[in-house]
Structure 1
Amino acid sequence: MNRYAVGVRRWWAVPAALLLLILVCWTVGASQVPVPSLTGGLSGAQLAYFTPVLVVVTTMYCLDRNLRGAESTAVVPVHLLDTAALVLTVVLAHLAGFLVGMDIARNITVLLALALVTRRLANEATATAAGLLLLLLNLILGRAYDPGGHASPTWWALTLYPAGSLPAWVVALVLFALALAIPGARHRA
């Protein structure tokens, strides 16, 4: 199964994507891009906010690669290998979070959970797009302004919460655990 994980699934691409994420975050730093907000005005978002999509795209690429005949006759269930690789991806993302910010590690966890659920309903491409859509919706609709004019995330905009928000971390980990627990990955002919 080691050869299958490396040669077919290509799980080695996920640590490479995490290294790319670190390099991109260090390169762009605190650079901002303007984002329209439906709650009023034009706000900005750091470019690093979008970097978790790199890891989700790579993870979905790895999950999409398979040999159905080999998987159906394998002694070791491949879904256990995939689950272990997904958990390792989140652990490595949290290690990378010490270098780029723990909010990015939390957002990787949230986007992977969303991607895994979407993948079971549709396909890998849709799962990747769902993560990017969630990030954009959080930016456009997920900010509330207090009477002083300061922006804060609404209760549902999990990706906008600060890195130290314990409720956001708990929700992210629960969502990821639930996404892993959903049985029956969709199989196409």
Structure 2
Amino acid sequence: MNCYVIVVRRWWTVLLALVLLVLVSGTVGTTEVSVPSLTGGMAGARVAYFTPVVIVIAVMYCMERRLPSAESTAVVPIRRFDQAAVILTAVLAHGAGLLVGLDVARNITLLLALALLTWRLANEAAAAVAGLLFLILNLMLGRAYDASGHASHTWWALALYPAQSVGAWLVAVALFAVALKVSATKHRGYLTVR
């Protein structure tokens, strides 16, 4: 069982991705990248805004690696290990969020939910790309200006909400819970316990 999780699924790569996220956010995370906005003008986004995609790619890489013959003849459902690993990833991301910003941790949870839902409907590659597209759409279409002319965000652009927004956290956690439930039916592999 441990051998399968470490050697086949390679869940240890998620830990490396979390370390990379902390290093990138700590060194060049505050650097601004220009992104065109369809609501007017050119706006900037911190590099740290895009770092949650690294975690999603690592998780989807691990979910893609499997031995169908071993899983189909095994005893313990492998999806339980996958769900536990995804939940542990979200928990560890919140630990890293204390260093890099809790908005990054919330966005990791949000993108993991989006990736799991996309994975349920398509495949791992589409799931990894869906998170990046969501972030770009938030930047290009989700920015607005309030009545006083200050830059703001639209109601649906959850990735742009500040870290202290309770509503954005609740939506991210609810989507994550739904995605875990829905993604559990993707495959029915089992793993033998020795």
The interval holding the TM-score normalised by the smaller chain is over 0.9
Q: Report the identity percentage.
A: 64
Q: Work out whether 1:53 is the aligned partner of 2:53.
A: yes
What does 1:122-161 align with in structure 2 at a 5 Å threshold?
122-161=122-161
- 1:86 is matched with which residue? 86
**TM-score w.r.t. structure 2 length?**
0.94
The number of aligned residues is 187
Residue 128 of structure 1: SS of its match in structure 2? helix
TM-score, normalised to structure 1's length? 0.96
Q: Which amino acid aligns with 1:87?
A: I
Structure 1, gaps ≥5 residues long? none
* Aligned positions of 1:60-99 closer than 5 A: 60-99=60-99
For residues 15-34 of structure 1, what are the structure 2 equivalents within 5 Å? 15-34=15-34
Report the equivalent of 1:111. 111
> Does the CA contact (< 8 Å) of 2:61 and 2:124 recur in 1?
yes
| Cα drift, residue 186 of structure 1 | 5.5
Secondary structure of the corresponding residue to residue 92 of structure 2:
helix
Deviation at 1:135, TM superposition (A): 0.2
Using the alignment, how far apart are the partners of 1:128 and 1:30 within structure 2?
24
- What runs of 5+ residues in structure 2 fail to find an aligned partner? 189-194
- In structure 2, the residue matched to 1:185 is 186
- In 2, Cα distance between equivalents of 1:108 and 1:13: 16
Structure 1 CA distance for aligned equivalents of residues 150 and 30 of structure 2:
19
Extract structure 1 runs of 4+ deviating beyond 4 A.
Answer: none
1:4 Cα shift? 0.3
Q: Which of 1 and 2 has higher RCO (CA within 8 Å, sep 6+)?
A: 2
Cα distance in 1 for residues equivalent to 2:147 and 2:75: 62
CA deviation string 1:128-186 (max 9, x = no partner) = 11100000000000011013221111110000000010000000000000000114216
- Please tell me the root mean square deviation across aligned C-alpha atoms, in Å: 1.1
